[in-house]
Structure 1
Amino acid sequence: MRTKYILTVAAIVAVTKSGFAQYSADALKFSQFQTGSTSRIKAIGNAGTAIGGDLSNISGNPAGLGFFTKSELSITPEFNNLQAKSNYFAGTTTANQATSNNVNFNNASVVFYNRLNKPRGASKTEGWLSLNFGISYNRTNNFYANTAFGGNNTNNSIADYFKELADADPSTTYDNSIQNWGYNQYLIDSVGYNKRPVYRSNVAASASSPTNQLTNTTTVGGQTSFNFSMGANYSNQLYLGIGIAVTNLRYNTSNTFTETGYQFADGLNYTTQYQVDQITKGNGASITLGAIYKPVDALRLGFSFTTPTWYTIDDDYSESLTTQYKGSNKYSDGPADYPLSYSLRTPLKVSGGAAVFFQKFGFLSADIEYLDYSSIHVSNSSTTSDGYDNSNSGYNPSQDNSDIKKLYRSTVNAHLGGEARLSSAFALRAGYSIQGSPYVNTALQSNITTVSGGIGFRTGSYYVDATYANVTGSQNIYPYVVSATDSPYAHVDKTYNNVFLTLGMRF
């Protein structure tokens, strides 16, 4: 199978500069999903591991279901605004901006309270008191984004990237590969006629003759989960739970890289466009175990363990290359389509938290999560003994798994939040969270921080919670990677402005 060349990569291969990864970048993207939650828990920075009695416990810590003494349901729509600002070559070109807005259905949950029967005369506050069941739908990742960056490149051209691919394996200039297309479209040439020719770029970028480059990327899709959980209450002191998540992912992206410059071999100006489209779908499952312990009424200690999510993923990737020479010929190759099915194992997650309650006046809560992204694993169930697919794809996951172990690391996520009860009806909430960078080279992506706040209103059996969350982070994106000179990259700052509204009732 041809290597999957993703033109815009978030630096996973920019570290090694030895060639492009195949599916390891996607594996990371699909492993960074969030736990589904209601507006209330989002407002306190998702610090919900030790908070029982919230519908978020269905997908978070299922032990919290044991706190319910009535059945309850809610729905949570959301509005997402993404603002992306990028500077090509670390700010040496004019800033590019792009925005994306979308409305999604974030969460729908229901818990059924089930009090356990006890023998006549037995204490109603000791032993197993209830076994409650919950079902929820959650949107755990949002891929909707528009990103644009570009400017003058005085160091190199995408033709230099094609040249390095050809030098690495000259035989591929005779197949239907991207370096073959670059050769056919006169962006690169062979030098010499020996058995292993050397290739050159026909574009020599310089201060007097730069290449002008522009990358536009549009992405849609997300990850969702259906959660089925149960939680039990023992003596109003120990709460245990278990949950199963059935997950789904959809990731569609369209990336267009355009370059204009001067091709010296024929003395012509050119415009070349490399188009990449990807459609990815997948399904997976995981299990969560949880516990909450109350040593005293004012203190709750929570713990949860979530297994890896085991995915089966179908990926359909296509690419094409077109070059137009001013006043001369136009050349087109592709689109070439490369479908593949593979398996993905995400990291397991361990969470611990504590919450301190101040009687009826509110609470403070803090959580810590641990994940090891270097444990992500990609596999192909139909490989032969030498590691290659025995059918028609020929995908070898060994390079991806090697990249994952070298380039990703373990990380800790922290969540902190609180709720203040202004009256029996109104509550104010605030929170902060930080998600650690998964990269060994943390310059490739910053920590992701979230500042959130919200308000809650309750009357009788009904309630409304509203939350605003501001999410910020940055990353370096490389349109291509070359070893001889500085690879071009854009520093992208992303800001999400998210609004959540939960409508709920007890019954």
Structure 2
Amino acid sequence: MKTKYSIIAALALVAVPLSAQETYQDTKLVDSELNGTARYVGMGGAMEALGADISTIGSNPAGIGLFRSSQVSLSGGFVAQKDATTSPSFGGINARIDGNKTNASFDQVGLVYAFRTSQSSFLNFAFNYHKSRNFDQILTAGGVLNKASQNKLTAMKYPYGTDYNWNGVDANYSALLTPIMNEENKQVGLDYLNGTEYLFGQYQKGYIGEYDFNISGNLNDRVFLGLTVGLRDVNYRSNSYYTENLEQNAMAESWEDLRIDGQGFDLKAGVIFRPVETSPFRIGLYVNTPTWYDLTLSSANDVTMTDAAGSLDKGQKADYDYKVYTPWKFGVSLGHTLAGCLALGATYEYSDYGSIDNRINDDGYYDDWSYYFQQSSSDRTMNRHTKSTLKGVSTLKLGMEFKPMPEFSIRLGYNYMSPMFSENGFRDGSLESPGSAYATSTDYTNWKSTNRVTAGFGYQMKKFFVDLAYQYSQTDGDFYPFMSYVANSASSPDNCIADGVKVSNKRNQMLVTLGYRF
């Protein structure tokens, strides 16, 4: 018999007060990118001990305490995904993906006000906006389906006395597939069609904007302390198209339109100290609290099945509010300068992505205008899935800056982020969780490690300065059109197994920062 969530999903997928998110959507909220000022990016982000760059406000706030003068800065550029294709094809399937391979981006604007409190101490205040996540991405994938398909997965999940739950895609297919009736004229299943090949295309866009407010200072030029309060603004958009060639010369097509909007806030605290008074060598330590997100998701899915007799179409919508609490982040960094012309930095960060807390809004009340949620509770089912699917992520940042002359700087950097997904992780669309029941797509990608290589230079003209940076990043992964279903044995004809295909996200970024010191 269907559980309560599968009944709701199959009937309407309309807005309800009990809602939560699912693991693969969560990763969009915690996977920060290397972005900020061109100096910070050019050095691979390895400035959490060197400080004196406004981008450290979002990682180690103590870095703002190293400013000796006030400044204002503005950064922007463009991001390009030159290897992406907007006209993918596989076998006999062709598609057209709307989206731009190159997009302009406004990345940072900030102000630092440095106030001297004594001969060797400062109290500094700062505000900075930066784009911590740029969602612009085109993703395409195609592969062979060996007796598997989306509609077969729906049929396999049809509750023959099992507890498998349905989502929005299943709800659409259940209305399009032919029911299987028993001798008593009761439905006992759904007739399905095996697939032969598939094609997927997705265009994502939007951003997470981070607004940071900082107070920091130093004690006798030996110990630097900082605290940052951060506000975040989430704007995520995704349009995807999925199509399958099926047996009997049939075809299935699925479209999804997805929006995530919301706000969050967090706290960041850090310290930088010089253990030897006569040496510029510095050590930085910092901690970032979870970001407490309050979010709204709006999505729609439409499925069309076509054969020689014609086409049938069915659509679903989902609108819900939920909360996600991201994991804590901890960092340690080293910084050193030599002969006043060479700066070296190294940073290590760790965050346990498996500890993401998916939360269900509950205990709300209505007034004359809208619905308010007062409390939320952890979605234990989804959190167990998150813990088994995601793992601890380490980030290593290395950077150097060389000044052949006082007004000119050359920078190089390297940034590495370990994989967040377990090798056997998958998007489980059968969980008894609203995060699964209200899903309007089935695809997922297990992204692997991210490697970033950066370079840049800067030039200072009295109180004005300009910095340029280039960043190349690459993340490879395994794409799956839907979760696999394994019946009683590995050789069962009822198996619905989708093999992964290799995909890659290669991005090029050009960034310029203009600034003025006063």
Check whether TM > 0.5: yes
Distance 1:339 1:306, change over 3 A: same
Residues 465 and 516 in structure 2, CA contact (< 8 A), matched pair in contact too: yes
2:58 matched to which residue of 1? Answer: 59
Q: 226-235 or 53-62: which moved more?
A: 53-62
1:181 matched to which residue of 2? Answer: 172
Q: Specify which of 148, 153, 165 is matched with residue 161 of structure 1.
A: 153
CA distance in 1, matches of 2:372, 2:41: 47
The question of 1:301 aligning with 2:283 is answered yes
2:472 matched to which residue of 1? Answer: 470
1:131 matched to which residue of 2? Answer: 123
1:141 matched to which residue of 2? Answer: 133
CA distance in 2, matches of 1:225, 1:84: 29
Q: Specify which of 332, 348, 353 is matched with residue 368 of structure 1.
A: 348
Distance 1:107 1:26, change over 3 A: same
Residues 143 and 501 in structure 2, CA contact (< 8 A), matched pair in contact too: no
Residues 49 and 353 in structure 1, CA contact (< 8 A), matched pair in contact too: yes
1:13 matched to which residue of 2? Answer: none
Q: Secondary structure at the match of 2:30?
A: coil
Q: Specify which of 380, 383, 388 is matched with residue 406 of structure 1.
A: 388
Kindly state the Cα deviation for residue 151 of structure 1 after the two structures are TM-superposed: 4.2
1:402-429 Cα distance to aligned partner (Å, 9 max, x none): 1111111112111111011110111111
Kindly state the Cα deviation for residue 204 of structure 1 after the two structures are TM-superposed: 3.7
1:202 matched to which residue of 2? Answer: 192
Aligned-residue Cα RMSD (Å) equals 3.2
Q: Specify which of 302, 305, 309 is matched with residue 320 of structure 1.
A: 302
1:15 matched to which residue of 2? Answer: none
1:244 matched to which residue of 2? Answer: 229
Kindly state the Cα deviation for residue 235 of structure 1 after the two structures are TM-superposed: 0.3
Residues 416 and 433 in structure 1, CA contact (< 8 A), matched pair in contact too: yes
Distance 1:414 1:447, change over 3 A: same
Kindly state the Cα deviation for residue 195 of structure 1 after the two structures are TM-superposed: 9.8
1:451 matched to which residue of 2? Answer: 453
Q: Secondary structure at the match of 1:155?
A: strand
The amino acid across from 2:224 in the alignment is: Y
1:436 matched to which residue of 2? Answer: 418
CA distance in 2, matches of 1:153, 1:418: 48
2:142 matched to which residue of 1? Answer: 150
The unaligned stretches of length 5 or more in structure 1 are 6-20, 119-123, 206-210, 264-268
The question of 1:39 aligning with 2:38 is answered yes
Q: Secondary structure at the match of 2:153?
A: helix
Distance 1:462 1:168, change over 3 A: farther
2:106 matched to which residue of 1? Answer: 105
The amino acid across from 1:40 in the alignment is: R
Q: Secondary structure at the match of 1:70?
A: coil
Total equivalences in the alignment: 459
The question of 1:351 aligning with 2:352 is answered no
Distance 1:291 1:159, change over 3 A: same
Q: Secondary structure at the match of 2:272?
A: strand
Q: Secondary structure at the match of 2:340?
A: coil
2:506 matched to which residue of 1? Answer: 495
Kindly state the Cα deviation for residue 154 of structure 1 after the two structures are TM-superposed: 3.3
Q: Secondary structure at the match of 1:224?
A: strand
1:216 matched to which residue of 2? Answer: 201
The amino acid across from 2:109 in the alignment is: A
Kindly state the Cα deviation for residue 194 of structure 1 after the two structures are TM-superposed: 6.7
1:371-407 Cα distance to aligned partner (Å, 9 max, x none): 00011001123069xxxx999xx99933211111111
CA distance in 1, matches of 2:307, 2:203: 27
Kindly state the Cα deviation for residue 93 of structure 1 after the two structures are TM-superposed: 11
Q: Specify which of 402, 407, 426 is matched with residue 420 of structure 1.
A: 402
CA distance in 2, matches of 1:242, 1:343: 25
Kindly state the Cα deviation for residue 480 of structure 1 after the two structures are TM-superposed: 1.3
The question of 1:333 aligning with 2:314 is answered yes
CA distance in 1, matches of 2:272, 2:94: 49
Kindly state the Cα deviation for residue 170 of structure 1 after the two structures are TM-superposed: 8.3
Q: Secondary structure at the match of 1:381?
A: strand
CA distance in 1, matches of 2:320, 2:58: 31
Kindly state the Cα deviation for residue 23 of structure 1 after the two structures are TM-superposed: 1.8
Identity across aligned pairs (percent)?
22
TM-score of the superposition, structure 1-length normalised?
Answer: 0.83
The amino acid across from 1:470 in the alignment is: Y
Deviating beyond 4 angstroms after TM superposition, the runs of 4 or more aligned structure 1 residues are 1-5, 83-86, 91-99, 168-173, 193-198
Q: Secondary structure at the match of 1:114?
A: strand
Residues 164 and 482 in structure 1, CA contact (< 8 A), matched pair in contact too: no
Q: Secondary structure at the match of 1:47?
A: coil
Kindly state the Cα deviation for residue 203 of structure 1 after the two structures are TM-superposed: 1.8
Residues 223 and 250 in structure 1, CA contact (< 8 A), matched pair in contact too: yes
TM-score of the superposition, structure 2-length normalised?
Answer: 0.81
Residues 253 and 278 in structure 1, CA contact (< 8 A), matched pair in contact too: yes
Residues 324 and 359 in structure 2, CA contact (< 8 A), matched pair in contact too: yes
Kindly state the Cα deviation for residue 133 of structure 1 after the two structures are TM-superposed: 0.3
1:219-250 Cα distance to aligned partner (Å, 9 max, x none): 11111111000111110111101001100111
The question of 1:235 aligning with 2:216 is answered no
Kindly state the Cα deviation for residue 306 of structure 1 after the two structures are TM-superposed: 0.6
The unaligned stretches of length 5 or more in structure 2 are 10-19, 365-370, 426-445, 486-494
